[in-house]
Amino acid sequence: MTQGNADITMNDRPVFSAELHPYRSLGRNGHRVFFLIAGALSFAHMAVFMISGAWPVVMFFGADFLILFGAFWLNNRAAKAKEIVSLSRTNISIRKITPSGKETEFVFNPFWARFLVSRKPKIGITAMHLRGNGRETDIGAFLPLDDRERFASAFSGALARVKRGY
């Protein structure tokens, strides 16, 4: 009986695992520096227009800064999304976590699943999908092109090894 349990846990051990995150060019310190500079420039322009008597322009500079801050806040919030892809000998699990924390999990049988990659000649990979048992989900839609190529190569290789029984 103990031998059977050892086989089950060995089959459930991930052969491939990846955590996918959207790429963002600025880190936390970069955002601070950017907003310090943008705030200082906005304040300086606001002061110039206030002194010259064009006070309605001051409101537009304030609104511009608030809109810029809101756009960056939404962008940083979207960066909290992630996908966790795990492949074992018995299943493929894709957990998608939205920026709000809502989690959706898709589970596929690796022997029935097909990993589909859409390519354009001059662009590269435009979409990646996993299909099986009448269901389909996309993978890594937010990844940059280079990361899509690396992920597709690694995941398809691991899936092929599992299907061959290695």
Q: Is the pLDDT of residue 4 over 80?
A: no
Please state the domain extents for the chain: 2-22+81-164, 28-78
Structure-token pair, residue 73: 């806040």
- Whole-model pTM: value is 0.75
Q: Which residues contact 4 (CB under 8 A, 6 or more apart)?
A: none
> Which overall architecture, per CATH, does domain 2-22+81-164 show?
Roll (2.30)
**Treating both helix axes as pointing N-terminal to C-terminal, what angle do 55-78 and 28-51 enclose, rounded to 10 degrees?**
170
User: pLDDT, tens digit, for every residue of 49-76?
Assistant: 999 998 888 999 889 999 999 999 888 8
Structure tokens at 109: 């049988």
pLDDT digits (tens, 9 = 90+) for 101-112: 999 999 999 999
Round to whole Å and give the CA distance between 146 and 69: 29
Q: How far is CA 44 from the centre of its chain?
A: 37
